Structure 1
Amino acid sequence: MSDSDLSENEKHFKNVYEGVPEKIDGDGHDDDGKSAEDVSDTDSDSANEKYKAIPDLTADQIRGLRFCSSLDALKFYSSYAKSYGFVVRKDEVRRDERKNVVMRQYVCNKAGLRESKYFTMVRKRSHKPLTRTKCQAKLRIRLDYRTSEWKVVSFVEKHNHEVTPSKYMHVIPAYRTLSESDKAQVDSLHSSGVRTCHIVGFMTAQKGGYSRLGFLKEDLYNYINRQKHYKLRGGDARAAISYLRGKADNDGMFYSKYTTTEDNKLKNVFWADGCSRVDYQCFGDVLAFDATYGKTKYNNPLVIFSGSNRHSQTIIFGWALLVDETMETYKWLLETFLEAMSNKHPKSVITDGDGAMRKAIKQVFPGASHRLCAWHLYKNAKDNVKNKLFLTGFSKAMYYDFTIDEFEEHWKNLVSEHDLVGN
C-alpha cells in the first residue's frame, strides 16, 4: 500500500508515530548523515508536540494509526495510559506458521479476574487485595503483510474502574524510574559526600515538586545501594580489603583470603586473627559452623566459626562473608578455613542443618561427625509444636547438663507424659 492510498488522517499519524528519522543505517545515522542520538531544538519541539498530542487523540484517530513495530505500539499505548491514569499489561499474542508474531494485544492492568482456585487455597497469610476488575480497555494490533506495518484493529477506550488521578501517577511503580541524567546527577552528588536525604530534597526542589520528580525516596536509596554493591574500586568493599591488609601488618599471624568475580566485584572473603588461630589449635576439636547470624546490607550471609574453651566460654575461630549459600561456596570456605588452621581437621562439626553446608562438610571434613545445633532444634520444635509443657521439657533436654542415663530417663518420661510413644 502506497502513501497515496492512505487517508489524510492516516498519513498524519503515520508520520507522527513512526518516528524520525524513518531509517537508521548501521552506523547509527539517518539518511542525511545525522546521528540518531543528536536531537536538535526542532527535533525536541516535534517530540513535545508528539507527546502533547497523545491525550488529545480521539478513539477513531487511534483506530487509524499504524506503527513500524509492535514495540512502537506498546510505547504509544504506555504513553497514552500514563496520560489517562492506568498501566498497560501485555496480553494475547498470536504467531503464524513460522512462529513470527502477527498479532499483539495490550490491556489495562486491571483486565481479567483472579482465578477461583486461589480463593480456596489454604494460606498462612491473608490474600492480597483484589486488583482485577475485568476491565475491557485494550489496544490490539495486527501485522499488515503488504506494508510490513502494524495497524490498530481494535481499541476499547472505556474502563470499568476509577483511573488514577494525575497527581498520584508518580507513585505508580510502572512509572517510577531514574533517567540517565538523574543517575548522573545522583552519582556526582553522592561522590561529593552529599547525603542521600539531601539529594532527594535538592532534586525535588530542582524539578518543582515530588509529582515531577519521577521517582520516590526509596528508589533513590535502592539505586545508590546497588551502585556500591560489591565494587572493589571504591566504597565499602575497598575499605574492607584495606582494613584486612592493615590488620595483617599489625598481626604477623593474621590470615585473610578473598575471591572476586570476572568483572572485579567482591565475591567471598574469610579472615582470622592470630589469637583465633591459636585458640583453634587448642580447642578446635568441636567446630560450630553457623550462617544464621543474618545478612549484611548487601545481602551477604555472615558465617562465624566458633567453639568453646575449658571454661565453657565461646571463642571465635574465624569469620566470613559469602556471596551465596551454595555447596561450591561452602566448599571454598571450608578449604580456606583448613588452610588458615594449618590443615587441622575438627573431630565434630555443629551446624544448622543446611543441605548445601552438609554436603560441603562431607567432602572437606570426611572424618568429622556432623551434629545439629541445639538452638536450631529447639527453634524448629517451637515453630511446629504449640504445647508449652512439652516445649519446656524439650528445652530442658536440649540445654541441661545430663549424664547419658539421666537424659534417657528424662526423655522417656517426657514422651510418656505427652502420649508420644511410637511417634
Structure 2
Amino acid sequence: MEEEEGTLESFLKWAAELGISDSQSNSSSCLGQSLSVAHFPHAGGRGLAAVRDIRKGELILRVPKLALMSSESLRKDKKLFLSINNHASLSSTQVNDAIWAAEKATAKAEFDWKEAISLMEELNLKHRLQTFKAWLWASGSISSRTLHVPWDDAGCLCPVGDLFNYAAPGEEEAFNSENAFIDSSCWRNHSSTEQYEVEQIDANLLRLTDGGYEEDVSAYCFYARRNYKKGEQVLLSYGTYTNLELLEHYGFLLDENPNDKAFIPLESEIYSSCSWPKDSLYIQQNGKPSFALLSALRLWLTHPTQRRSVGHLAYSGSQLSPDNEIIVMGWISNNCKAVLKSFVTSIEEDELLLRTIDKMQDFCTTGGLANLPSAFEGEVHAFLENKGSIHGESGSKFLQSRHIRRYMDRWKLAVQWRLRYKRTLVDCITYCIKVIMLVGSLDLVNRNLN
C-alpha cells in the first residue's frame, strides 16, 4: 500500500511539472484545488473526488497538449519514430484491430503480437514488456483510455484525465440541451450582441459538459457534468455503452444504465424483412422492446402479401392491429422465456451465488461453496481448480491472495451481468403480458361497441 501511494505521489509530481492542473489559475500542484485521488470501493475503485463544492460546467482539470501522448508526440522521439517507420505494416490506428483481437479471438491477438515483436526488440524493450500478457495489457489500456483529439486519428492518452470513473450520459443533459437550443431561437430577432451571448450559452450546454481538446488554450479540458458536493466522486461520460461493453472495455458495471441493452436470438428472416440495423433490435433496461424491434416484428409477423401496404405504419411505430400486437408481444415473451430456460442457473441461484461470493470475500473462507446448488458445481470447481485451491492452498490463506481476490471480483462481475440480463428478460415478459391484457380488453370493448 505504501509503495502504491509513493508511486501515485511521484506520478502527480511528474504531472504537475508538465502543467497538468485542476486549478483555473497558475498552480504548482497537479491536484488539490478542485479534485483529489480517492478510493470508491463500490463505485469504480480509484477515482477523483471533489475537494470543494463544484458547479455544473465548471473547468475542473486542464491537461496541456505537451502532456498528451499521441502519434505526434511519438515523432519527437527519434529512435521510436525511426523504428516505427521501419515497420510500415504497423499503423497508429492498428491498435483497434489488436483490441478487437484481444477480446474476440486469442489466435488473432497472438498473430498481431508476433508481428510487433521485431519492433519491440528493436526498441530494446525489457523482456517482460515483450510478452503476450504485456501486449494484451497495453492493448486494453489504449482501448479503455484513448481520448479523441481533432489533430490525430489515433487519439491520445491523457495523464490524470484517465482517473475519472464513468457515468452514463443521462437523458436529462440531452433534454436540457434541446430545450436550450429551442429557447435560444426565440432570441434571433434581438441585437447581434444578445444573439452572440445566447449562442455562447448554447455552445457551453451542447458541449455535454464533459470535456474535449480546446485549440485556443492548447489543452484537453474537463468540465463538471453536474453539480458536486465536497467529497462526492466526480464522474466523466465516455459515451453511450451497454453494461456488457463497459464490462469488456473497462471492467465494471452500472446498477442503473439507461443505455443498457438485452439482445435475444432473432430469425434471419426478421433482419431481411426490415431495414433496421441489427444493433437496434434489442430490449431496453426497463424491459420494454426497442422501437426498432417492435417495428420489425410487427412487419415480420404480418402476412408477406400485406407487408407493403402496412410498412409505412410499422416504420412510424404504429400498431398494425390488435391481433398483430398480441402476436408480437406473445412472440417476444415466448422467446425471452426460451432464453431464460437455456441458462444453467436461475435468477434465485445467481443471487445465492453472489451472496456466497460476498461472504467469501468478507470472511476469507470457501466454506459457503459447499452449500451451493448442483447447478454451480462446474463453475465452482473450475474456480477452485484453476486457482489452486484443490491442488494447493485452501481456506483463508487461499482467499487472502491478492491474485485470487482480483479473480473473485471478476467472477462476481460476470455473475452480476448475467443476473441483470435475466432480470431484463423477466421485466420484458411482464411488460408483454400487460400489453396483451390491455390490447385484448380494449379490442373486446371496441367489438362490443360495434
Shorter chain as denominator, the TM-score bin is: under 0.3
Higher relative contact order (CA 8 A, sep 6+): 2
More strand per residue: 1
TM-score normalised to the size of structure 1? 0.23
